[in-house]
A and B are shown apart, each in its own frame.
Chain A
Amino acid sequence: MSTFTLENLKEIMQSCADQDSNPVDLSRNFLDVPFKELDFDSLAVLEIATRVQQEIGVRISDDAVAEMTTPQAVLDYVNRESVA
């Protein structure tokens, strides 16, 4: 299985964001910024989780999605599950 990197996550987040009127600034350190403050609502986070599942084949439960409040939490979950 290929590893899931920060770059992969950035790519997915960009594609879920509004590039026209509200591009996400992923140049700064955004990993610990809550999704809400990055202007991702709960559906957008679910969409991110769905895309991550499709890309790396790791199953993410609904409960786990609910706990993914920051980008760092997504990376932590994926890396933990990939190893296990």
Chain B
Amino acid sequence: MSRVVVTGLGVLAPNGNGTDDYWSNTLAGKSGIAPISLYDASRYPCTLAGEVPGFDAEVRVPGKLRAQTDHMTHLALAATEAALADAQADPAAFGEYEMGVVTANSSGGTVFGQRELEKLWSKGPEHVGAYMAVAWFYAATTGQISIRHKMRGPCGVLVAEQAGGLDAIGHAVRQVRREGLRLIVTGGTDASLSPAGLTAQLTTGLLSHRSDPHRAYLPFDRAAAGYVPGQGGAVLLLEDYGSAVKRGAPRLYGEIAGYAAGFDPGSRHVLPRVIVKALTAAGAGPDDVDVVFADALGDFAADRQEARALRELFGPRGVPVTAPKTMTGRLYAGGGPLDVASALLAIRDQVIPPTVNVADPVPGDELDLVLGEPRPAPVRTALVVARGFGGFCTAIVVRALP
């Protein structure tokens, strides 16, 4: 089976505009969680979020395309440009059918959608823009990346809330192998920070209602009270290993070595199985794993389920566990890809990024949480776990190249 490697990263996260910015802030423990600035959130129960700082769509996205797409797609288009530049990959140098696009999406284009729906009920149907027909769809981002870069091979979108981003990467790997692609754009970005986007999520009861950015999202902590939402994510460029070496790709961050997914609304039994399956697919065992990037929902019951699965598989305090998403909030479809990017950077720099703000971990969890400070450590194999609302559960194993 051919090796599929990551050759380019494009990161747009609440604590970092660009991969280098994100990584240095993450290692420094700098959080991007703050009061919502995009709209007046003072009368809503959720007032905090992670917004991508200093992202100017007018500079990063061409005019016509900007008007035709939602902010989630603006972020993805810019992240794709960054990933292509990082990999020094010019799409024109590839065959159009040798390239594909598989992204994940969770919320759809809620900012665009809300704006046009407001026109619908306040002014009438003739005032709704034509691009409402495509801009708020889950598949809009994949479609626009495909059109922009003439990537005409297999394209698709995965929708599984926070698990979807890892599912997209898993499917992208499958498409490279099955269709013999040379290059595929994958990952995801979400941007549901609008009144409609967040109100739709209130019924889950999982959003944190706290107003102190340092106390709002505390996974594995006794004071856990839900999670803070964020926008952004990461786009990854995947290539067939042989093809990447042949064209002289400047960086091989690592390989996507194993992937597995399961579904169980109870989520109690599926998580350990999915992790074992992903490790088996990578030809690895628990002893090989140097770090776990946890799902870290911040919900008491869900945190205990994840802690138990990790404790049973790796033993008490058997593996370093971290959740840099405590600095970004949960990014939905963008969350898994951002964790995979972090895992690859951890492998590059031999350092585990920290979990912030968690001060009082639940003792019975017996997790070796990397708290407050980054931890230098040999990192060769990383496990990334993500769960999506409703029962989605996915794991990916990322590994350094030999």
Contacts and interface: CB of A to CB of B under 8 A. Distances in A.
Interface string B68-110: 1000000000000000000000000000000000000000000
A20 B62 CA distance: 6
A43 B126 contact: no
A47 B130 contact: yes
A43 B133 contact: yes
Interface centre among B63, B127, B130 (most CB of A within 10 A): B130
A20 B63 contact: yes
A43 B131 contact: yes
B130 A50 contact: yes
Contacts of B62: 18, 20-21
Contacts of A5: none
Interface string B31-67: 0000000000000000000000000000000111100
B130 A19 contact: no
B63 A19 contact: yes
Contact of A18 (B64, B126, B133): B64
Contacts, number: 34
B129 interface: yes
Contacts of B63: 18-20
Contacts of B129: 47, 50
Interface string A1-33: 000000000000000111111100000000000
B249 interface: no
Chain B interface size, as a band, is 10 to 19
B127 A43 contact: no
Interface in B172-225: none
Interface in A43-62: 43-44, 46-47, 49-50, 53-54, 59
Contact of B126 (A19, A22, A44, A50): A50
Contacts of B133: 43, 46
A16 B64 contact: yes
A63 B313 CA distance: 62
B302 interface: no
Contacts of B27: none
B130 A54 contact: no
B362 interface: no
Contacts of B128: 50
Interface of B: 62-65, 68, 126-131, 133-134
Given A20-B62, A43-B68, A46-B133, 12 more contacts: A19-B63, A19-B64, A21-B62, A43-B133, A46-B130, A47-B129, A47-B130, A47-B131, A50-B127, A50-B128, A53-B126, A54-B127
18 contacts: A17-B64, A18-B63, A18-B65, A19-B63, A19-B64, A20-B62, A20-B63, A20-B64, A22-B64, A43-B68, A43-B130, A43-B131, A43-B133, A43-B134, A47-B129, A50-B126, A50-B127, A59-B126
What 8 A-B pairs have minimum CB-CB distances, sorted nearest first?
A: A18-B64, A46-B130, A47-B130, A20-B62, A53-B126, A19-B63, A43-B130, A20-B63
